Amino acid sequence: MDTIVSLFLIFIGAALINNFVLHYFVGICPFIGVSRRVDLAFGMGCAVTFVIGIAATLSWTLTFYILRPEAPLSAWLWNSMGADPTTVVDLSILSYIAYIFVIASSVQFVEMYVKKFFPSLHRSFGVFLPLISTNCAILFACLEIMKNLQGGDQLWGLHHALALSLGGGVGFTIAIVIMAGLREELELCDVPKALKGPGIALLVAGILAMAFMGFTGVDRGVADAIRTLTQH
Amino acid sequence: MASSSPSPAERFIAGILPENPIYRQLLGMCPTLAVTNSLKPALTMAAATAFVLLCANISISLIRPLLKPHLRILIFTLTIATFVTIADRVLAAYLYEMSKQLGPYVPLIIVNCIIISRCEACSSKQPLPHAVADAVGMGIGFALALSSLAFVRELLGMGSLFGYQVLPSSWPNWGILVLPPGAFLTLGVLLGAVNAWTARRKARVQSN
Amino acid sequence: MSTVSTISEPGNEIPAPVRKNLLVDAWLVLFLAIAFGAALAFVHAKLSPIIQANIRNETLSLVPVLVGSPEEYDVKELSHVTPSGESISFFHVTDKSDKGLGWVIPASSIGFADRIQILVGLDESASKIMGIRVVDQKETPGLGNLISDPAFRDQFEDAPTSEPLTIVKTDPAHSHQIRAVTGATISSVTVANAVNQAVMDLRSYLAADPS
């Protein structure tokens, strides 16, 4: 029960309360660049969610078993080579390089999948699909997972990592679809010339971020409510 | 804009305002919005990015003749990731408090579009002096953009600059500017201001 | 990395110049990987001890401050499992003649925005709080943020531990009452709860280990 509650809280936290785009400022480039049409924005959001899920799984596995200090596989390799068993094997300096390659491979894999099963979607995406590998949101999710695999207590399992990254992807999709809807309306408005395009998009994003700030504290309230309910 | 192969001086000047990475090219906005709620982290981030940009440009320019088209993105990424790791470790060792404040945004320099686009557009095609001038120009432009944003946010949002109280305590701190929405709003307004000023200058030049 | 096959069969033979280019590319990537790997290993070896020292000093530099800033002292790190099953590690400060000067216990609780982490300093007999410091918080700037300010945290100095501390919005009438930060009641209550938890944790340790 406790695990399910904490998974739910991590998911809601990443999707709404600490929305990746509007609170952590990751994934801004596609948020400003791709959000002109709702259908394209929704497709981009789904692609990013898909890639984040795959990248989080791979990077969690890599970090847990190989990269973090005292990781099982690297310690086993070190000992089986006959070296000093008391030294702590710490490969975390290679983390960032490992993550960026994991992300590039995930994007490549998703691109092949989309090309084979949704060729029209692949055509309409064009160059934006490979550009997902420079989307800060995916690397940010990997870094958050790494942060929670460092301390001795409460290491995150694969389920926590997936809850965070899928929550982040869903939050990104929500934000980019809302923004696309707003910008479709803005096309018909009389925007001052200096603010046309990214300028007005940023101002609208600011108001959207203010709205999302209203979600602060929701996770605490929900957790308290669940705790009160399960005590009866 | 420039001749087919810009000289080092042209590259340097271009990076500061005409092709400013934030205000004109709209690249690398993630750290721009995240660390600019005060001036100290903004300048530290600009310094770290400039360091990575310079080292990456120099390295890529040196191995320029050996680059093959289908593997170049791989090599760019490997180079940038290595230098970002070095910058991150150096910050954690010698500026620990600032490293904690900047948090995950230093490793996010790896996916900062500015660096990959400079590697692709300049250092993989031009020799060392051009690459260095380009990196320094873009670094200065990035630092100017970040400081302009942080100046407004810290001054009006907290009444201080670099942590020193500048405005009198009767100033009601515009708290919203220090929070996430303030980042978007300030950048939008400043972007509009820069666009308006550039358009007016262009009109004045054309009418002469 | 490269999938160059050295077996030439009539059907899938790679033309000689392209095969040579693929080998050259693979060599470049491998060479760069080894060169960068060596550079990173060097950086790790030189900087990792400094970073570890930074992380430890972050907490250790606050420990003497929280027990009255003695001139000479020794710090012992201890760990204990509380009745609720949580494992905590805390500090016992003694002077050079091994006389106890106080305890420093970390505690944390979920505040308005995210987790708030504090350090609580208690005197040797755990009868009085000597001070608190907020180590990590992400509360609202200008509101919940102010729990780190001396105006709020100085109220915890010399507070008794005979009863749990409570937060009030008006002037405190009782030494167990702490005045909340205006407009940030939840953050203030979280800090008080964390302090009470720290006192309980220390009490459970002292009860289990009379020495």
**Structure tokens, B140:** 């200065």
Q: Residue B93: closest CA among chain C residues belongs to which residue? A: C51
Higher-pLDDT residue of B103, B85 = B85
The predicted-structure confidence for B44-69, as pLDDT tens digits, reads as follows 999 999 999 999 999 999 888 888 77
Residues whose CB falls within 8 Å of the CB of residue B146, separated by 6 or more in sequence, listed in order = B22, B31, B32, B35, B36, B42, B43, B45, B46
Task: Report residue B154 CA to chain centroid gap.
Answer: 18
The predicted-structure confidence for A70-94, as pLDDT tens digits, reads as follows 888 888 888 888 777 777 778 888 9
Q: Residue A104: closest CA among chain B residues belongs to which residue? A: B74
Q: C51 and B79: CB-CB below 8 Å? A: no
In B45-182, where do the E strands start and end? Answer: 160-161, 164-165
Q: Which band of pLDDT confidence, cut at 50, 70 and 90, is reported for residue A210?
A: very high
Identify the CA nearest to C62 among candidates C111, C116, C120: C120
Q: Which band of pLDDT confidence, cut at 50, 70 and 90, is reported for residue C211?
A: low
The predicted-structure confidence for C17-40, as pLDDT tens digits, reads as follows 555 666 666 788 888 899 999 999
**Considering only CB atoms, which chain B residues are within 8 Å of A135?**
111
Task: Say what the pLDDT of residue C2 is.
Answer: 41
**Considering only CB atoms, which chain C residues are within 8 Å of A220?**
110, 112
Mean pLDDT, residues A100-123: 88
pLDDT at A178 over 90: yes
Residue C199 corresponds to which amino acid? V
**Considering only CB atoms, which chain C residues are within 8 Å of A216?**
112-113
Residue C155 corresponds to which amino acid? Q
Task: Say what the pLDDT of residue C15 is.
Answer: 59
Which contiguous run of DSSP H or E holds residue C117?
strand C115-122
Mean pLDDT, residues B182-194: 93
Task: Report residue A48 CA to chain centroid gap.
Answer: 8
Output the CA torsion A156→A111→B74→A104 (10° steps). -10
Task: Say what the pLDDT of residue B3 is.
Answer: 42
Question: Phi and psi dihedrals of C29, rounded to 5?
Answer: -65, -45
Question: Phi and psi dihedrals of C125, rounded to 5?
Answer: -90, 5
Q: Which band of pLDDT confidence, cut at 50, 70 and 90, is reported for residue C5?
A: very low
Mean pLDDT, residues A91-113: 90
* DSSP state at residue A132: G
C100, β-bridge pairs: C94
Higher-pLDDT residue of B28, A138 = A138
Q: C54 and B71: CB-CB below 8 Å? A: no
The predicted-structure confidence for C153-192, as pLDDT tens digits, reads as follows 888 888 888 888 888 888 888 888 888 888 888 888 889 9
Distances, alpha carbon B163 to alpha carbons B177, B180, C138, in Å: 16, 19, 18
Identify the CA nearest to B157 among candidates B143, B165, A20, C134: B165
Identify the CA nearest to B105 among candidates C72, A137, A58: A137
Task: Say what the pLDDT of residue C13 is.
Answer: 54
pLDDT at B2 over 50: no
Q: Which band of pLDDT confidence, cut at 50, 70 and 90, is reported for residue C14?
A: low
- Tell the residue number behind the tokens 């953009």, with chain if given: B145
Share of chain B above pLDDT 70, in %: 98
pLDDT at B200 over 50: yes
- Count A/C contacts: CB-CB distance under 8 Å: 17
Task: Say what the pLDDT of residue A63 is.
Answer: 92
Q: How far apart are the first and last CA of chain A?
A: 14
Average pLDDT of every residue of chain B: 88
The answer to whether the beta carbons of residues C90 and C106 sit under 8 Å apart is yes
The predicted-structure confidence for B13-26, as pLDDT tens digits, reads as follows 887 878 888 888 88
C132, β-bridge pairs: C120
The predicted-structure confidence for C120-145, as pLDDT tens digits, reads as follows 888 888 888 888 898 888 787 777 88
Please tell me the least confidently modeled range out of A21-25, A185-189, B168-172, C84-88.
C84-88
Identify the CA nearest to B57 among candidates B161, B113, B136: B136
Q: Where are the domains of chain C?
A: 14-58, 63-208
Residue of C42, C59, C114, C138 for testing the chain A interface, max A β-carbons within 10 Å: C114
Can you tell me the ipTM of this complex?
Answer: 0.89
Nearest Cβ partner for C113 among A94, A153, A216: A216
Distances, alpha carbon C200 to alpha carbons C138, C159, C204, in Å: 25, 15, 6
Phi-psi region of C111 (alpha: psi -120 to 50; beta: other; left: phi over 0): beta
Task: Say what the pLDDT of residue B1 is.
Answer: 40
Q: How far apart are the first and last CA of chain C?
A: 62
pLDDT at A156 over 80: yes
CA distance C164 to chain B (A): 33
| CA separation for the pair A8, A2 (Å, rounded) | 10
Q: Which band of pLDDT confidence, cut at 50, 70 and 90, is reported for residue B4?
A: low
Task: Say what the pLDDT of residue C3 is.
Answer: 44
Task: Say what the pLDDT of residue C153 is.
Answer: 86
What is the model's pTM?
0.87
Which contiguous run of DSSP H or E holds residue A230?
helix A218-230
The predicted-structure confidence for B104-153, as pLDDT tens digits, reads as follows 899 999 998 889 888 888 888 888 888 899 899 999 999 999 999 999 99
Mean pLDDT, residues A165-175: 95
Tell me if chain B has a CB within 8 Å of the CB of A198. Answer: yes
pLDDT at B167 over 90: no
The answer to whether the beta carbons of residues B78 and B125 sit under 8 Å apart is no
Q: Residue A94: closest CA among chain C residues belongs to which residue? A: C40
Mean pLDDT, residues A196-211: 91
| CA separation for the pair B143, B157 (Å, rounded) | 20
Q: A217 and C43: CB-CB below 8 Å? A: no
| CA separation for the pair A112, A130 (Å, rounded) | 11
Q: Which band of pLDDT confidence, cut at 50, 70 and 90, is reported for residue B181?
A: very high
Q: Which band of pLDDT confidence, cut at 50, 70 and 90, is reported for residue C84?
A: confident
Q: Return the partners of chain B (3 or more C-beta pairs < 8 Å).
A: A, C
Q: Hey, CA dihedral for A23, A24, A25, A27, is it positive or negative? A: negative
Share of chain C above pLDDT 90, in %: 7
